């Protein structure tokens, strides 16, 4: 069986990092309706900074060229979400057809 890791990032800031802090939080990017909502949540997470310069300190579930310390390829996130929705629809349909 193949396991899929949902794309997520650990969101800190450059200011905190430069001050010796790794304070931040893991965010599952598929929990957000769009890129704007994701970045709004990141800014709210770091509301203690006037203009937080976001730093994606770690990521999982992304191909290596789809996320970096300062960028997330949101087209990949949208494609992942679409694939997951289609997969769930197909699996659900098969399950309904195979039930006795």
Alpha carbons 50 and 32: distance in angstroms, whole number = 23
Q: Find the mean pLDDT for residues 48-72.
A: 96
Residue 83 confidence (pLDDT) above 50: yes
Please give the helix or strand (H or E) that residue 80 lies within, else none: helix 74-98
Q: How far apart are CA 24 and CA 9, in angstroms?
A: 10
pLDDT score recorded for residue 32: 97
Distance CA 42, CA 23 (A): 12
pTM: 0.84
Does position 36 have pLDDT exceeding 60, yes or no? yes
pLDDT of residue 100: 46
């Amino acid at each position: 069986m193949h396991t899929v890791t949902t794309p997520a990032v650990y969101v800190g800031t450059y200011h905190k990092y430069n001050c010796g802090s790794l304070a931040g939080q893991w965010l599952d990017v598929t929990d957000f309706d769009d890129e704007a909502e994701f970045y709004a949540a990141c800014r709210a997470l770091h509301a203690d900074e006037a203009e937080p310069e976001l730093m994606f300190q770690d990521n999982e579930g992304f191909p290596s060229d789809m996320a970096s310390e300062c960028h997330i390829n949101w087209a990949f996130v949208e494609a992942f979400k679409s694939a997951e929705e289609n997969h769930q629809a197909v699996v659900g349909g098969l399950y309904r057809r195979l039930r006795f």
